[in-house]
Amino acid sequence: MQSDPSYLSHWGELGTLKNCLAGYFNQDWALDYKSVEEAWYAIVREGGADRRLRLLEQLDALLQRSDSDVHVLFRDTADGLYFIDAKDTRHWLEDFQRFLHSHEPA
């Protein structure tokens, strides 16, 4: 797995993913984007190829964990989105992963 940039070291493990979720899906995300998909497009457009690859690697690593672990990480970082059921959280992250796989930065 690619290392996170040093400026993300305060996030610890899966720093690129945590930073992305916290930055794009904070409590005001719906003021910045009309939909989740619009935010996902911004992530690809603004992040570049290296970040996209790190996100994919870190999503792969996270999605190998239990539903509970996935849910806790998501709730701790993406405070603008909330899923009650851990399976819904996993499903959202799998959709995000599929989106990243199918969209490369320009």
For the chain, 106 residues long, give each residue's pLDDT as a single digit of tens. 789 999 999 999 999 999 999 999 999 999 999 999 999 999 999 988 999 999 999 999 999 999 999 999 999 999 999 899 999 999 999 999 999 999 987 7
The pTM of the full predicted model, rounded to 2 decimals, is 0.93
CB 99 within 8 A of CB 38: no
pLDDT at 77: 95
> Per residue in 19-45, is it b (16+ CB within 10 Å) or e — as a string?
bbbeebbeeebeeebeebeebbeebbe
Cα 48 to Cα 12, 72, 83, 90: the distances in Å are: 21, 27, 28, 24
